[in-house]
Amino acid sequence: MTPIKPLALSLLLCVLAACASRPATPVPLEFVLVRHAEKSDDDPRDPNLSDAGRARAQRLAESFAGSEVFAVYATGYKRTRDTAAPTASAHAMAVTVYDAKLPAAEFAAQLRRRHPLGKVLVVGHSNTVPEIAAALCGCAVAPMADTEFDRRIVVDFDVQGRPHLSETRY
């Protein structure tokens, strides 16, 4: 054996030992809640997204670039599924449909049970998104206007399980 090989082997073993002894960093728990994007006037009961809505859905997907998304939820309406679809597609997963009529507290409890860690997108409606966020964080969340499509509510949890609410626009 040449002197270089034992040195290289020693360095490799040191690197592997350092990696093995480093504790794994837990993936934080984060729920991102948005209302469906802008809808068209084509069907009053279950409209498609408008051009502006499709563009917003794409911007939503782009906002998750570089992030690992663990799940994507939407109600059974076309406008919510179509808002969620670009994000789900970008992360090679299907959109999980949930019942829009399910009480917010019950749905929030299901989300917490199913997802102890990771980033989860939930697409809902102006009358459900604030309620679900409030149920997740146990805090007050301002109502959402029927004309508001760009509000992104994030409920994340620290390592002790304490929730934190933040809001941005996208």
Q: What was the pLDDT predicted at 79?
A: 98
Q: Which residue has the higher pLDDT, 84 or 15?
A: 84
Q: Please report the pLDDT score of residue 2 as a whole number.
A: 53
Tell me, yes or no, whether 11 lies in a domain: no
Of the chain, the percentage scoring pLDDT greater than 90 comes to 82
Is 20 part of any domain?
no
Average pLDDT over all residues of the chain: 90
Is residue 73 pLDDT above 90, yes or no?
yes
> Model-level pTM?
0.84
- The CATH number of residue 82's host domain is 3.40.50.1240
Closest CA to 80 of 99, 108, 106, 107: 99
Give the model confidence (pLDDT) of 99-154 as tens digits: 999 999 999 999 999 999 999 999 999 999 999 999 999 999 999 999 999 999 99
Residue with tokens 């939930």: 122
Does a structural domain hold residue 112?
Answer: yes
In a domain, 15, yes or no: no
Q: Kindly state whether residue 8 falls inside one of the protein's structural domains.
A: no
Domain that holds residue 150: 26-169
pLDDT band of 21, cuts 50, 70, 90? very low
| Interval 14-32 mean pLDDT | 60
Q: Is residue 32 part of a domain?
A: yes
Kindly report the backbone phi and psi dihedral angles of residue 107, in degrees, each rounded to the nearest multiple of 5, phi listed first.
-65, -40
Q: Flag whether 68 is in a domain.
A: yes
Q: What is the mean pLDDT of residues 76-101?
A: 98
Residue 130 is given by DSSP the state: H
In this prediction, residue 161 carries a pLDDT of: 92
Query: Is 13 within a domain?
Result: no
What pLDDT score was predicted for residue 27? 62
Please report the DSSP string for 2-15 in residue order.
Answer: -THHHHHHHHHHHH
Pick left, alpha or beta for residue 118 (phi over 0 → left; psi -120 to 50 → alpha; otherwise beta). Answer: left
Say how many domains are in the chain: 1
